[in-house]
Amino acid sequence: MELIMSDILSPLAYLTGKPTAQGKLKVQPEHFQVFENLGFEFAGQGEHLMVRIRKTGENTAFVANELAKACGVKSKDVSWSGLKDRHAVTEQWLSVHLPKGETPDFSAFLAQYPQIEIIKTDRHNKKLRPGDHISNSFVVTMSEVTDVADVVRRLETIMETGVPNYFGSQRFGHKGNNLSEARRWGRNNVRTKDQNKRSLFLSSARSWIFNKIVSARIEQNIFTQVILGDIALSDVKMSDEETGVTNAKPILVTADNFASIGEAVANNDMQISAAMAGDNALPTQDDALLLEQPCLDSEPDLMALIRGNRMRHDRRSIALKAQDLTWSVEGDNITLSFSLDCGCFATSIVRELIEEIEVERVYS
């Protein structure tokens, strides 16, 4: 029996209203394809072997560990720009520190893991670091959609309005376990030397508070409108895989520039931002501060964790607009093609289109 899947994001507001259509996602791995775009050329020489891999049904960390074994190096010598979905077909670059310039024989590695392909290799003088890529391209198929016409109408709308730039449910762990642990750590003042866990729970904490702020703006019908004290961003190019924060110049919305910034936002020349909470005071003022501060105050355990680890405050755009969005319909299947900046979630687009039905996948 099929059941509507339980989703930690269910309390958050929808920009275009809760979808009436139901559908399935990732029924087959090829129904969710991700192609990483670095946005720069390799030097063609250097200490790092760059390996572009295509993987099916495996996570990035597993592939990196196995690639390290094949290259005869430690796991820490293999790095990547972004983690890619396991339940998908994904392409991305990995860098392997091989300073002598050798290229290992990958035949045994490829024979052992037929779900992994090596598409090409190159050389570079720097290793990959999280967030080095500029964007990801997606091909996403929604299967057995119950109301195709409604989804198409929504697609036509979000081409203009975008969708909430929510962090997807995968950010918060299975059934929200990472978020629950983040609250426990903050409440009990947990300290650890495990940097991976620390980073995971801090990321969940900040992402959840950001999501709550965005949802509050939708509920108050000011998602597309600037308010006094907002922080607007003049350049919305994403630069960080973990937070999705921008490298833009933040501009405080005041009575003097309110009209001009409002016009710039309407023309997509600037974007409204929300807090990636830190241990310092919010930079928003006036009406925007009155909106954001209660979202921080409502999560004392998460804020205790954030402040205890002295996280620096950042800003992230509240709206997500897919680039080059197109779609095709075949019966009750709808296939989307689009690109998103680094740090954004394709599932945030799907969330505005269908209510996802849980399915038993045919692959492990």
For the annotated catalytic residues, the residue numbers are 85
Identify the CA nearest to 276 among candidates 185, 348, 320, 213. Answer: 213
- 124 has which bridge partners? 48
Are 168 and 345 a contacting pair, CB within 8 Å? yes
* Structure-token pair, residue 299: 């999560």
Find where tokens 């409502």 sit: 298
Are 138 and 339 a contacting pair, CB within 8 Å? yes
* C-alpha pair distances (Å), 213 with each of 210, 250, 267, 297: 5, 18, 23, 11
Are 278 and 306 a contacting pair, CB within 8 Å? yes
- The whole-angstrom separation of Cα 168 and Cα 172 is 8
Give the DSSP letter string of 203-221.
HHHHHHHHHHHHHHHHHTT
Beta strands in 5-109 (DSSP E): 22-25, 32-37, 48-56, 78-80, 89-97
Q: Helix, strand, coil % (nearest 5) of the chain? A: 30, 25, 40
Q: In what order do the strands lie in the sheet with 271-276?
A: 250-252, 231-233, 271-276, 314-317
* C-alpha pair distances (Å), 329 with each of 145, 154, 163, 283, 326: 10, 14, 21, 45, 11
Handedness of CA 341, 342, 346, 347 (dihedral sign): negative
Q: Determine how β-strand 231-233 pairs with β-strand 271-276.
A: antiparallel
- 314 has which bridge partners? 276
- The whole-angstrom separation of Cα 172 and Cα 182 is 10
Find where tokens 């093609």 sit: 337
Are 124 and 95 a contacting pair, CB within 8 Å? yes
